[in-house]
Structure 1
Amino acid sequence: MPVAKRRTNLERSSTTRAGLLASAREAFVTRGYADTSTPDLAEAAGVTRGALYHHFADKQALFRAVIEAEAAAVAAEIEAAPSSGSPIAALVAGGEAYLQAMAAPGRTRLLLIDAPSVLGGEEVDAIDGRNGVRTLREGLQAAAEAGALRPVPIEQTAQLLGAAYDRAALALAGGGDRTDWLAALRGMIEGLALPR
């Protein structure tokens, strides 16, 4: 008779942490940060409050971890976007992938509405700088190195384009016309290209 393998403390801890993150994401999307208590979060994850506090210092730390995971998921979807063609076409494809990633239920609210009010703009900018804006920065740098980009400051252009894509994501979450927003964003990106 086979013996069941016992899980290690690290495996149990990872499972508990993952369960807390998934439950917290759902609660923050459904009720919002302010209306979600730590007892709610512990109950939803099926753990004690002590277990919650073992993994996260407080509700804000758990929220920050959810935001970090969401931002990383968005960056991963951008990086997975097919990028055949020119560096400018790759930037356009990455932008479309961003908007697709932001269409995940609750993601726009978490990243663009709740996160700035809970964590503050500076911290949210830092998280975005390691994720979505980083992908823009890298795409712009690749386009510049390929000689496809007008001479623009890379960091500031990445920040401005990131803000434009965030605005589009908010508009789309509110029912805006995807085709029109994509056309406007494509025009912005293509306007940065050097004439051929």
Structure 2
Amino acid sequence: MAQKRAEMIVETRNKLIKAAREAFATKGYADSSMDDLTAAAGLTRGALYHHFGGKQGLLQAVIEQIDGEMMERLSVIINEATNTWDGFIDESIAYIKMALEPEIQRIVLLDGPAVLGDPSQWPGQSACMRSTQRSVQKLIDEGRIERVDAEATAYLIMGGLRGASSWIAHADDPHSASERAIEGFVRLASGLLHK
């Protein structure tokens, strides 16, 4: 009985997240009504309030899901790299390029900060920060980059990547902005290399 109830809770949450993700990606957060979201999920407004506290909580859950997927994709890139430096650069470039994806651009980069505030405070960003800090520390330990404060450097890198991603999302020509951001990032990161 308890297991069946737990499965129903997960199913309800997943239905709401799926409906919201589709609506937020196509219409945007502001133009997605709670009635439309719950109707698309085949549920009531009460279910939305019960599980997420409202539309803002649902947006947070959608962003957490997308952040998790982004982290999985970035982890694959790191794991497939031939060395730590290439993994660090490739992961960062992939993060910048994700700003071109319509769903990420609309939900995570445009609507998310407008509704939820500073992205550096989101739970998913903490995982990203830890991953960047681990990469920086590993590069220091390998003697590949100069000895720097790994935590401070990770915050600078992630702040730069988030800022560039936001710029790309708001740019008149996102593809050009992305190419310029990648070139700038690689030049800046190369300054860390051990001389």
TM-score by length of 2: 0.83
Superposed CA offset, 1:83-141 (max 9, x none): 212x22221011122234444322123222222221121x6424243232222112111
Which amino acid in the other structure matches residue 104 of structure 1? E
Tell me, yes or no, if structure 1 residue 63 matches structure 2 residue 62. no
Alignment check: 8 A CA contact 1:20 1:52 kept: yes
1:119 pairs, out of 116, 119, 126, with 116
Which amino acid in the other structure matches residue 88 of structure 1? W
**Post-superposition offset of 1:179:** 3.9
CA–CA separation in structure 2 for the residues paired with 1:179 and 1:36: 32
**Post-superposition offset of 1:172:** 4.3
CA–CA separation in structure 1 for the residues paired with 2:21 and 2:115: 14
CA–CA separation in structure 1 for the residues paired with 2:99 and 2:73: 10
SS at match of 1:130: helix
C-alpha distance 30-49 of structure 1, shift in aligned 2 (>3 A)? same
Of stretches 16-25 and 49-58 in structure 1, the one that deviates more from structure 2 is: 49-58
CA–CA separation in structure 2 for the residues paired with 1:141 and 1:20: 39
Superposed CA offset, 1:56-85 (max 9, x none): 111111111111111121111111102212
Of stretches 102-111 and 91-100 in structure 1, the one that deviates more from structure 2 is: 102-111
Indicate the residue corresponding to 1:37 in structure 2: 33
Indicate the residue corresponding to 1:105 in structure 2: 102
Tell me, yes or no, if structure 1 residue 22 matches structure 2 residue 18. yes
CA–CA separation in structure 1 for the residues paired with 2:107 and 2:120: 11
Alignment check: 8 A CA contact 2:99 2:168 kept: no
Percent of aligned positions that are identical: 31
CA–CA separation in structure 1 for the residues paired with 2:58 and 2:157: 29
Which amino acid in the other structure matches residue 164 of structure 2? A
SS at match of 1:135: helix
TM-score by length of 1: 0.83
Which structure's residues are more often helix, by fraction?
2
Superposed CA offset, 1:23-48 (max 9, x none): 11121222222222221210121211
Indicate the residue corresponding to 2:186 in structure 1: 186
Alignment check: 8 A CA contact 2:96 2:161 kept: yes
Alignment check: 8 A CA contact 1:149 1:194 kept: yes
Indicate the residue corresponding to 1:3 in structure 2: none
For structure 2, the 5+ residue unaligned runs are none
Which amino acid in the other structure matches residue 94 of structure 1? E
1:83 pairs, out of 73, 81, 84, with 81
**Post-superposition offset of 1:15:** 2.0
CA-based RMSD: 2.2
C-alpha distance 141-159 of structure 1, shift in aligned 2 (>3 A)? same
- Count of residues in Structure 1 that have an aligned counterpart in Structure 2: 187
SS at match of 1:152: coil
Alignment check: 8 A CA contact 2:120 2:126 kept: no
Which amino acid in the other structure matches residue 175 of structure 2? G
